[in-house]
Amino acid sequence: MTIYDMISLAPLWILSSAAILIFFSISIKRNHKVIFVITVLSLMADFAFVSTYSIHHLHSIEPLLVIDGFGVFNIGLILLTTLVVTLISYAYFEQREERKEEYYILMILAALGAIMLVISKHFVSLFLGLEILSVSLYALIAYLRKRERSDEAGIKYLILAAFSSAFLLFGMALVYATTGSMEFAGIAAWITRAHEMPVMVITGFGMMIVGIGFKLGIVPFHMWAPDVYEGSPAPVTAFIATVSKGGMIALLVRFFNTLNGYQYTTFMLVFTILAIASMFIGNILALRQNNVKRLLAYSSIAHLGYVLVAFLAGEKLGMEAVIFYLVAYFITTLGAFGILATLSDKDRDAELLEDYRGLLWKRPLTAIVFSAMLLSLAGIPLTAGFVGKFYVIAAGIHTHRWLLVIILVINSVIGLYYYIKLIAVMFDQKQEPRPSQDLHPLVYIVSSVTMAILVLSLFWIGVNPEGMMTLIRSVL
Amino acid sequence: MKTLPIESGLLLAGVLFTLGLISVLVRRNIIFMLISVEIMLNAAGLAFIVAGSRWAQADGQVMFIFILTMAAAEVSVGLALILQIYHHLKTLDSDAADRMNG
């Protein structure tokens, strides 16, 4: 490893040293505020460092990692998302009695794993990144130990994640046994030479799709999503819905493009079926949910289906659409779960539909922000979600994937129903005094400013998407 | 030294993997489910070693060590969670730990 390699890996170094620093500072004294500030500063410093990379930065650390424009963009996205999750976590954990400091270590490590995932170009780094992310998530999901359902959600996620990791690993082993390479480029070269794919490689890729599909939470590997969303603390749910899924999508895009998987009709067929099933089942199951967290879980299954449409469209426009949709989806999901976290009280999360009844009259600003986020999820014009969906449809039409585009449009209409239902509940008139919160007002300022920034960027991207589009185009 | 054909090694790994898969689906005790998942992971590790020996590379064994480390980390978190569940429910039946549905 040269000095230049070391410098290129600075985003990883900064995060791992921040985790160690927090570790030591906890052993000296437990102070939630100090730990929070260290976490925020290190994430900001890391983002500042990453943003100094030029757009055409290309540096590979053989054989494991490659840091290119695509990777840098995703690292930046992951860091900003983690920052927002940390900011909304502060008020959420401040009102709880449990030990809250270790939470930030786990959060940083999970971000580290996701970053490793998006810059990997080798099975070993893929596996390492994925597992750093997953093992941190097991602990994060079950973090609120006194809460009844968190251990159940944790063990469900653990068993299923390990189960799917085993599939992924066995698939990798089969591919390695046949091709003799664990590097994406090496596998691609072997497949090009072989002309025809042997059964073992197809089986291997099939098993890998099971592992990847689980992480993405697409149908039929979605069973864990509602339970885990419901059982974990609201900020952790936001993290799972964004960083964990987005990192995997970025990896899938890189892997598929290196392999040039678009020429294999089998894979395209499999992903088409997965996308259609995710859109329909996600949206239809969301219709009958009364729990807002479960509703958002099913809605995120459907949204991953939309992302897959853009992914299947392929070519440059498809990749742009994938990234743009991810950005829009990240902002919206963070906003929605951020509101959920701010409304939660000491004992439980604000997850029932009843918690939102008449919210507009009790906390008008919160209700308006939440409505904006839901409208963006539904894809109403002027929001980022609309531009994202528009982009996906444009990409789909560009490569003539009419079936997928039509199904996407049908599903957008189905989705509209449950988002509007939730908004209607908030507009419902029902006066009832809410128990007042007794935290220091400063705590809420952090959350409010974060929410304000999210809403602003939601509308900014929705009204004026050119800036983001140019940025995405230049990194690809 | 006589070398085994790669197919028999992969076959063994496949059989182990299938056994783990079946028992994860059949078992209802959470500890046994965890053990079954470990069997699946180790089957994948064995497949990596077989594949590595076919190409005479160390990569397969490197991967196995990573899998071993990861499995250990996973089991430690898993056992902590299982203890927690046992405290709450006084049972390790996975059907009892199913209070969320819909």
Q: Given an 8 Å threshold on Cβ–Cβ distance, is A124 in contact with B62?
A: yes
Interface residue A264 vs chain B (CB under 8 A): no
CA pair distance A46, A113, nearest whole angstrom: 15
Query: What residues of chain B lie within 8 A of the CB of A292, using their CB?
Result: none
Query: What residues of chain A lie within 8 A of the CB of B45, using their CB?
Result: 169
CA pair distance A94, A72, nearest whole angstrom: 33
pLDDT, one tens digit per residue, over A30-67 is 899 999 999 999 999 999 999 888 767 788 888 899 99
Query: What residues of chain A lie within 8 A of the CB of B63, using their CB?
Result: 123-124, 127, 172-173, 182
Distance from CA of B71 to the nearest CA of A (A): 8
Interface residue A162 vs chain B (CB under 8 A): yes
For residue A474, the model assigns a pLDDT of: 87
The answer to whether the beta carbons of residues A227 and A286 sit under 8 Å apart is no
- Among all residues of chain B, which has the CA nearest to that of A173? B48
Query: What residues of chain B lie within 8 A of the CB of A151, using their CB?
Result: 81, 84-85, 88, 97
The answer to whether the beta carbons of residues A385 and A307 sit under 8 Å apart is no
Tokens of A97: 């009695």
For residue A228, the model assigns a pLDDT of: 94
- Is the Cα dihedral A252, A256, A262, A264 positive or negative? negative
pLDDT of residue A236 exceeding 90: yes
The answer to whether the beta carbons of residues A302 and A283 sit under 8 Å apart is yes
For residue A356, the model assigns a pLDDT of: 87
Q: Given an 8 Å threshold on Cβ–Cβ distance, is B66 in contact with A127?
A: yes
Interface residue B65 vs chain A (CB under 8 A): no
pLDDT, one tens digit per residue, over A384-418 is 999 999 999 999 999 999 999 999 999 999 999 99
What is the SS3 assignment for A92? helix
> Of A152, A163, A172, which has the smallest distance from its Cβ to B37's Cβ?
A163
- For residue B66, what pLDDT band results from cuts at 50, 70 and 90? very high
> Of B40, B43, B85, which has the smallest distance from its Cβ to A151's Cβ?
B85
Question: Taking CB atoms and an 8 Å cut-off, how many pairs form between chains A and B?
Answer: 133
- For residue A436, what pLDDT band results from cuts at 50, 70 and 90? low
The answer to whether the beta carbons of residues A248 and A131 sit under 8 Å apart is no
The answer to whether the beta carbons of residues B33 and B24 sit under 8 Å apart is yes
Query: What residues of chain A lie within 8 A of the CB of B29, using their CB?
Result: none
- Among all residues of chain B, which has the CA nearest to that of A168? B44
> Of A151, A165, A231, which has the smallest distance from its Cβ to B84's Cβ?
A151
- For residue A349, what pLDDT band results from cuts at 50, 70 and 90? confident
Class of domain B10-90: mainly alpha
DSSP chain B: -PPPPHHHHHHHHHHHHHHHHHHHHH--BHHHHHHHHHHHHHHHHHHHHHHHHHTT-SHHHHHHHHHHHHHHHHHHHHHHHHHHHHHHHS--BTTTS-----
Tell me the average pLDDT of chain B.
90
For residue B2, the model assigns a pLDDT of: 60
Averaged pLDDT, A368-392 = 93
Query: What residues of chain A lie within 8 A of the CB of B76, using their CB?
Result: none
CA angle A437, A348, A332 (to 5 degrees): 85
Query: What residues of chain B lie within 8 A of the CB of A163, using their CB?
Result: 24, 37, 40
> Of A138, A177, A227, which has the smallest distance from its Cβ to B100's Cβ?
A227
Tokens of A173: 């082993």
Tell me the average pLDDT of chain A.
91
Percent of chain A whose predicted confidence (pLDDT) is above 90? 71
For residue A76, the model assigns a pLDDT of: 94
The answer to whether the beta carbons of residues A304 and A217 sit under 8 Å apart is yes
Interface residue B28 vs chain A (CB under 8 A): no
pLDDT of residue A358 exceeding 90: no
For residue A433, the model assigns a pLDDT of: 56
The answer to whether the beta carbons of residues A84 and A450 sit under 8 Å apart is yes
pLDDT of residue A98 exceeding 80: no
pLDDT, one tens digit per residue, over A175-204 is 999 999 999 999 999 999 988 888 999 999
Residue A388 amino acid letter: G
Residue with tokens 């064995």: B46
Interface test with A, best of B37, B38, B55, B87 (most A CBs within 10 A): B37
Element containing residue A22 per DSSP (H, E) = helix A10-28
